Amino acid sequence: MSTATHVIGDTSVLTWRSLRHILRSPDTIITTAVMPIAFMLLFVYVLGGAIQTGATSGSYIDYMLPGILLITIASGVAYTSYRLFMDLQGGIFERFQSMPIARSSVLWAHVLTSLVANLVSLVIVTGVALLMGFRTGASVWAWLAVAGILILFTLALTWIAVLAGLSAKTVDGAGAFAYPLIFLPFISSAFVPTDTMPAPVAWFAENQPVTPIVNTIRALFAQQPVGGEIWIALAWCVGILVVAYVFAILAYRRKIS
């Protein structure tokens, strides 16, 4: 058996193990989706009428949904960090090291589980948004592009979660890293245009990763040209993914050495 086949086989088995835990407690996914849905209800039905986005057509939920999707992902990856930390504390990693399995498969199993769980949460949140009035004439290709960006963003944040889970000293610390990630869309173009913000805040909003990602997804949903922002969004996602992956692997090697 080749090394690649060995890694893929081990990763598949361990991923199914993690997914079974989620299937036994689906409240994890429900909890992940509850907060973004609550934000949608708050902004659309309470604050939406007072917010001016400058859009000539479409409802406020059409404007804000891309940011809500990113918040859903940021909320979901906190559970990845928590599950990884609990596996470390429970001695699962030591048990796996005594077995003939590929070491990298342990981390990739958590990453793939995070990807599947977050995709389910994203589908739930999008379904609720449709019930609340979200509409788009986006083509199949545009939807696939949105899905690709969200998957890349999920992988990037998941590797940050892996690093947090490997480095945390307590259960609370394992999940606390997600709070800044959840808050970041609020200082972006996710809910209001950046030109309505004070100059220092606007500068930060325009030069952080969430804004180009949100603008790109919004343009795809609205069937508008994405321009060069899609490349900025992809550069942020890939850059975060690569840096987080490298540091997570280094932390993992230190942990198991």
Kindly report, residue by residue over 224-253, the tens digit of the pLDDT: 988 889 999 999 999 999 999 999 989 888
Q: What is the arithmetic mean of pLDDT over 111-118?
A: 88
125-178, pLDDT tens digit by residue?
999 999 998 999 889 999 999 999 999 999 999 999 989 888 888 877 777 778
Q: pTM for the whole thing? A: 0.88
Extract long-range pairs of 212-218: CB within 8 Å, 24+ residues apart: 212/236, 213/66, 213/70, 213/149, 213/153, 213/237, 214/66, 214/67, 214/70, 214/185, 214/188, 214/189, 214/190, 215/66, 215/189, 216/149, 217/66, 217/69, 217/146, 217/149, 217/150, 218/63, 218/66
